[in-house]
């Protein structure tokens, strides 16, 4: 009986949601992989690109809900690969940005499983592109800081973040998974020394048909209506022109109606009685 040759694990970035933003390599791997282990935030449009022979498994962990553990995900990757299958571990955005990539690489290395990382477009870049702005600008924003509003167990809570050491007037701050209450960011960042006039933008479901863009300022951030997850928050002078563009592209009555719909939805009010 011939020995089964081990497969390979590809840790692939699916981008922010739009299938057209996939890399050519990511698309090719989806078509030929034996197993797809995808996060919950990977869009259905991208999951549907998998080959007809592939075994597709949702291993998502969303909003803190208990489903599958990281240890179980690691075990699945290793088990399938050692059984001779090529595995795509499909992650939203880029695998190396808040995707627990390092933990999975450690597990694969310990099991002597061959792997390859395939980068994807991270949400911050897609959000800036959607707004028509740059994340850096040599005239006003020479530094980019990326943080997460959601922390794994054992990591310092957001309330203890030393914002004054991270931000300044020449910094663009990007907050992944900022949550539904943005007033904390507004208060803490102004206490850290940022001016209330600093431009901000909140975008939910970046690059999808359900995308919602709201441009505001740091001082007005606490009054922003709740947006649907996943969302991202951009703060800094570099995103200043976003406000003019969003207002120009969205009629005021439609913009206000959209905000009211979102507010009712999260208050539990049915729009269709």
Residue ranges and CATH numbers for the domains of the chain are 9-118 (3.40.1010.10), 123-266 (3.30.950.10)
205 Cβ neighbours under 8 A, 6+ residues apart: 17, 211, 212, 228, 230, 231
Confidence at 169, pLDDT banded by 50, 70, 90 = confident
More confident residue, 168 or 7: 7
Segment 157-185 mean pLDDT: 80
Segment 30-46 mean pLDDT: 96
More confident residue, 166 or 99: 99
Confidence at 2, pLDDT banded by 50, 70, 90 = low
> Which residue numbers are catalytic?
39, 61, 177
pLDDT above 90 for 139:
no
CB-neighbour burial class of residue 117 (10 A; exposed 0-12, middle 13-18, buried 19+): middle
Query: Angle at which helices 101-110 and 70-82 pack, to 10 degrees?
Result: 40
Look up residue 122 and give its DSSP letter: -
268 Cβ neighbours under 8 A, 6+ residues apart: none
Segment 146-157 mean pLDDT: 62
Give the three-class secondary structure for 232. strand
pLDDT above 70 for 264:
no
More confident residue, 111 or 252: 111
Average pLDDT, the chain: 85
Confidence at 267, pLDDT banded by 50, 70, 90 = low
Q: Each residue of 196-243: pLDDT tens digit?
A: 999 999 999 999 999 999 999 999 998 887 678 889 999 999 898 877
Q: Each residue of 97-128: pLDDT tens digit?
A: 999 999 999 999 999 999 999 999 999 999 99
pLDDT above 80 for 143:
yes
pLDDT above 90 for 156:
no
More confident residue, 60 or 67: 60
Nearest 5°: the CA angle 230, 118, 210 is 25
pLDDT above 80 for 61:
no
């Amino acid at each position: 009986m011939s020995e089964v040759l081990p497969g390979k694990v590809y840790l692939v970035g699916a981008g922010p949601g739009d299938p057209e933003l996939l890399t050519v390599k990511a698309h090719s791997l989806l078509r030929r992989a034996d197993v797809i282990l995808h996060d919950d935030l990977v869009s259905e449009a991208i999951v549907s690109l998998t080959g007809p022979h592939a075994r597709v498994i949702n291993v998502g962990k969303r909003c803190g809900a208990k489903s599958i553990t990281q240890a179980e995900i690691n075990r699945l990757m290793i088990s399938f690969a050692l059984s001779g299958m090529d595995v795509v571990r499909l992650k939203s955005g880029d695998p190396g940005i808040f995707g627990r990539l390092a933990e999975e690489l450690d597990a694969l290395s310990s099991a002597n499983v061959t792997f390859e990382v395939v980068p994807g477009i991270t949400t911050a870049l897609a959000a800036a592109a959607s707004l028509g702005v740059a994340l850096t600008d040599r005239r006003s924003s020479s530094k980019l800081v990326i943080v997460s509003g959601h922390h794994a167990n054992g990591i310092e809570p957001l309330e203890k973040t030393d914002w004054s050491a991270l931000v300044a007037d020449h910094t663009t701050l990007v907050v992944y998974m900022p949550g539904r209450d943005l007033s904390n960011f507004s208060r803490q960042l102004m206490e850290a020394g940022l001016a209330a006039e600093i431009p901000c933008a909140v975008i939910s479901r970046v690059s999808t048909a359900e995308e919602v863009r709201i441009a505001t300022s740091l001082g007005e951030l606490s009054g922003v209506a709740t947006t649907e997850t996943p969302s991202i928050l951009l703060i800094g002078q570099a995103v200043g022109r976003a406000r003019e563009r969003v207002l120009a592209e969205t009629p005021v009555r439609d913009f206000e109606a959209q905000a009211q719909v979102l507010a009712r939805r999260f208050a539990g009010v049915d729009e269709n009685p």
